[in-house]
Amino acid sequence: MDKRTKKNKKTRIDRIGLKGEKRKRQNKLKKNALRFVLGGALLLLIVIPLINLYFLPKNVGFWYPIYRVLPLPIARVDNEMITSRMLLEDLKSVKHFYESNDYASRQQRVDFSTREGQFRLQIKEKDIFNKLIEDAVVKHIATEQGLIVEQEEIDRAIKESLNKFGVDEQRLALNLQDNYGWTIEDFKNKVVKNQLLLKKLWQWYQRNIQTSVEYNKAEEILEILKEDNSKFAELAMRYSDGESRKQGGEMNWMKESQIIPEVVERLANMESGDISGVIISPLGFHIVLLEDVKKNDDAYESNKQSGDLDNEYKFKQIFIRGKSFVDWLVEQKRLASVSVFWKKYLWNKNEGEVIFRDLFMRQKESEMRLKSSGDPVLN
């Protein structure tokens, strides 16, 4: 091969190499452009929802699927964060519950597809938000007092409930899945654990409220009754805060289901003529005199699994109204450090609750709550 041929061949190879490099550069540019476009689109999908969530005070339901996936902080309670995923997953479960039950057969309508239905769903979302904040407040107070719930306690509570109602774990799992879309672990973490922690806080509250003025007043009345229980009616008319004071504390016959659990528990262990000690309930302080009891043993045996016991009690009561546990919890929410980041809502420190930022929604909620009798969603 002569020199000229070699040179031409080399030139062709160089040209082919240059074309290859050019194609590589073009492909690289195309890839970079595609990445830029996809990155920009992804950025918009994240930035726009965040802007709606944190800066624009309006309904942002269009972006809910993203908020339900991403754990975006929507509130802080002391050091506890509440995320969009927590709230919207709970809302999804509640919506599933109402839509999976046959309310039409009870002459009730649950339809979230209508305009009114959407309003009701937004109000329900706000209620769930408030419940998450209350749970976080309870958790914070309980942690400060060294109150914790162990896994063994949760498992034991589940087992006791299953035994009480004659239900096995498989049936519970099916019911949870059908009604809420939950697993048993979801139920333990979302419901049972919070209930046990609230119960422990209630017990702690009972121990600490015994230093209150109202409790001491109830103790003084009890001391008088220990000396002469014939003064019960007189003392009830003078000191009781209940409606029964006009009748000397007389409550007449009442079924167990009509009496608050703390009083029922004490009555069940009393004999006719006995006077209880000071009973602490979430409402205040009670002293009861048991007059008579009707024990329906047949009803008890047939209904004990359902918990529908039909025993009846005739008793007198002196009720001293104290700061109720519910009022105390509301007070703790007012005192808690709560920040709400979702601009759809505001934190009302005076009321200790989340409210709608939009004035129209506040008015709409008031109207719908006023006519909510028989409404399974708002009741």
Rounded CA separation 32/63 (Å): 28
CB count within 10 Å of CB 300 equals 13
Rounded CA separation 198/191 (Å): 11
Tell whether 77 and 203 lie within a shared domain.
Answer: yes
Residue range of the domain that includes 135: 62-209
pLDDT tens string 253-266: 999 989 999 999 99
CATH code for the domain in which residue 72 is found: 1.10.4030.10
Q: Quick one: residue 254, left, alpha or beta (phi over 0 = left, psi -120 to 50 = alpha)?
A: beta
Tell whether 315 and 228 lie within a shared domain.
Answer: yes
In a domain, 345, yes or no: no
Q: At what angle do helices 115-144 and 84-100 cross, to 10 degrees?
A: 130
In a domain, 118, yes or no: yes
Confidence band, pLDDT 50/70/90 cuts, at residue 41: low
Tell whether 80 and 28 lie within a shared domain.
Answer: no
Question: In sequence order, what E strands does the chain have?
Answer: 73-77, 80-83, 250-255, 279-280, 284-294, 312-321, 338-340, 345-348, 353-356
Tell whether 188 and 286 lie within a shared domain.
Answer: no
Number of domains into which the chain is organized: 3
Rounded CA separation 206/276 (Å): 17
Tell whether 205 and 225 lie within a shared domain.
Answer: no
In a domain, 342, yes or no: no
Q: Are 75 and 338 in contact (CB under 8 A)?
A: yes
What integer pLDDT is reported at residue 11 of this predicted model? 54
Last residue of a domain, one of 163, 183, 209: 209
109-127 mean pLDDT: 89
Tell whether 70 and 128 lie within a shared domain.
Answer: yes
Confidence band, pLDDT 50/70/90 cuts, at residue 49: confident
User: Nearest-5° angle of CA 39, CA 58, CA 113?
Assistant: 95
298-323 mean pLDDT: 70
What integer pLDDT is reported at residue 23 of this predicted model? 63
Rounded CA separation 99/316 (Å): 45
Look up residue 133 and give its amino acid.
I
Confidence band, pLDDT 50/70/90 cuts, at residue 26: low
Tell whether 312 and 264 lie within a shared domain.
Answer: yes
In a domain, 191, yes or no: yes
In a domain, 362, yes or no: no
Tell whether 92 and 157 lie within a shared domain.
Answer: yes
Tell whether 48 and 149 lie within a shared domain.
Answer: no
Q: Per-residue pLDDT for 37 more than 60?
A: no
Tell whether 195 and 281 lie within a shared domain.
Answer: no
Tell whether 258 and 226 lie within a shared domain.
Answer: yes
Q: Are 62 and 46 in contact (CB under 8 A)?
A: no
357-364 mean pLDDT: 94
CATH code for the domain in which residue 231 is found: 3.10.50.40
Average pLDDT, the chain: 84
Last residue of a domain, one of 55, 74, 96: 55
108-128 mean pLDDT: 89
In a domain, 69, yes or no: yes
Rounded CA separation 378/143 (Å): 32
- Which of 21-30, 123-132, 197-206 has maximum average pLDDT? 123-132
In a domain, 189, yes or no: yes
pLDDT tens string 264-280: 999 999 999 999 999 99
In DSSP terms, which residues pair with 280 in a beta bridge?
Answer: 285
Rounded CA separation 279/266 (Å): 8
What integer pLDDT is reported at residue 46 of this predicted model? 65
Tell whether 92 and 224 lie within a shared domain.
Answer: no
Confidence band, pLDDT 50/70/90 cuts, at residue 300: very low
Last residue of a domain, one of 209, 235, 264: 209
In the structure encoding, which two tokens stand for residue 80, read together? 């506890």
Which is more confident, 10 or 103?
Answer: 103
Q: What is the pTM of this model?
A: 0.74
Contacts for 295 with CB less than 8 Å, ≥ 6 apart: 311
195-208 mean pLDDT: 91
In a domain, 20, yes or no: yes
Confidence band, pLDDT 50/70/90 cuts, at residue 303: very low
Q: Per-residue pLDDT for 109 more than 90?
A: no
